[in-house]
Amino acid sequence: MSGITTYGERRLVLISGRAHPELAERVAEELGVDLVPTTAYDFASGEIYVRFQESVRGADAFVLQSMTAPINQWVMEQLLMVDALKRASVKTITAVMPFFPYARQDKKHRGREPISARLMADLYKTAGADRLMSVDLHAAQAQGFFDGPVDHLFAMPTLVDYVRTRVDTANVTVVSPDAGRIRVAEQWAAKLGGNPLAFVHKTRDITRPNSAVANRVVGEVAGRDCVLVDDLIDTGGTIAEAVRVLRENDARSVMIVATHGVLSDPAARRLAECGASEVVITDTLPIPRDKRFPSLTVLSIAPLLARAIREVFDEGSVTSLFDGNA
């Protein structure tokens, strides 16, 4: 049997979808468990079939899926796994999605639009998930979309520890790519020792997805080592424009740091050519070989996910993982 047994009564089982099996294997290794053997395949029509090859009755189940492209397929696969677990009489179900699907569609910009992130939360609840676990939500208030516990994990400690080894913290300016993420930049500055802040003023046309124009920098960046922080990088246009503006304002160097590497084309090319000294992301999403480039660093999020899963299973404190910042 897979899983951790506590006092001969409770059992933790970890299940993986097909989107990012390498991450699931690393999480399983950190937990000291085996992944539940699972059959999953697509019918000729595109329908998905899943079945677990051993009993999960009475277990605390954690089903992990990374929402990479094609995102709709992997959302559906995880929903089917949650439904299968519910019908297999598990005790609890936690849907672990390091990158929350449709997270950027968390409000209506114009009339007659959906609030897609809310719909995702409703789908998981209807399928049978008791709780959700995700890393660095695009907007923290999205936790309120799910009628149940949501474990909102933060990659910042992992990223900050790495950045400290790569920059002179006495000469760092933390830069937000837009005014909306100043709060996150403030947290970064505090973690790095109270560094100054700057942000890139940009304009965005809400009728054109993945399109923004960086106009100017607000804050002192000349001669400084800039750490440009964001939650995700999709096509890379916004972040590459921000690097350009920082360079034009005489920044000594620019390091890009983000949690989620969506890296839709042509992100890899843009990032490789934008002039950043290094691009640091985590492996919440798979980064295929053709999207890697020399200045890219990918840090593992598996230890954080494993510790959070263990705290939930042990009925401990997930907040304690972040020194009270969760």
Catalytic residues: 202
- Among residues 10, 132, 117, 150, which one has the least CA distance to residue 65? 132
Is 151 buried (19+), middle (13-18) or exposed (0-12) by CB count in 10 A? buried
- Give me 320's structure tokens: 């304690």
Question: 80 with 95: CB under 8 angstroms?
Answer: no
Cα–Cα distance between 26 and 44 in angstroms, integer?
31
Question: 215 with 244: CB under 8 angstroms?
Answer: no
Question: 148 with 125: CB under 8 angstroms?
Answer: yes
What DSSP element (H or E) covers 245? helix 237-248
- Among residues 100, 61, 99, 98, which one has the least CA distance to residue 81? 61
